[in-house]
Chain A
């Protein structure tokens, strides 16, 4: 099993550009989540999904969109990147309210 994979590993965007961060898992987990990690602020939940076709907002959803068309994939879209979205982004999956498995992260810089 590859576990949770994320692409790209690094990305630099200009303000106003859009992009999609990819996340995939091969463990048949129902739950998937996106977090951002900023210095001194831990991991903050952006959006999460409890199954295909179901998504919900987390703590800091503004500026981000998600969709869940399959169990395996949970992409995160930035429609118009802003410098405040410079961060490290982690995707995670779990069977339910259980251990979360994290991907390796995407380091995003918005200039």
Chain B
């Protein structure tokens, strides 16, 4: 089955800096790559996603890039704010969805 690895497990940045989280996947058949944000005590919520026919997608301060040849994709958050502090999960999907282990992002004011 699909295996998704996510790095780093924790990330601390100063407010205004950029944050980058990277994921690799094993199943070349995967064609959908979402990123979820989970705040304390809540279920994960989608923040951005990308499909295998697209190399990059941007939504305001958030962007995702996909390299299908290398089987990795990354989340980029620019101009970070304290409210960006949360746990972020990447996932890869073809038949079912598999998640990375998560990255705890802390944005220091």
Q: Which residues of A are at the interface with B, using a C-beta cutoff of 8 A?
A: 4, 33, 35, 40-45, 48, 56, 58-59, 90, 92, 97-100, 102-105
* Shortest Cβ distance from B93 into A: residue: A97
Range of interface residues on B (Cβ < 8 Å): 20 to 34
Does B43 lie within 8 Å of A99, measured CB to CB?
no
How many residue pairs bridge A and B at CB < 8 Å?
A: 52
Does B9 lie within 8 Å of A104, measured CB to CB?
no
The interface stretch among B14-22, B60-68, B72-80, B94-102 is B94-102
Q: Which residues of B are at the interface with A, using a C-beta cutoff of 8 A?
A: 1, 6, 9, 31-32, 34, 36, 42-46, 49, 89, 91, 93-94, 96-102
- Give the residues in chain A near B93, CB-CB below 8 Å: 97
Contact A97 B98, CB 8 Å, known A40-B9, A90-B44: no
Query: With the chains together, A59 CA to B1 CA distance in Å?
Result: 8
Does A33 lie within 8 Å of B9, measured CB to CB?
no
Pick the 8 closest A-B CB pairs, nearest first.
Answer: A102-B43, A42-B101, A43-B99, A42-B99, A99-B46, A97-B32, A42-B102, A102-B44
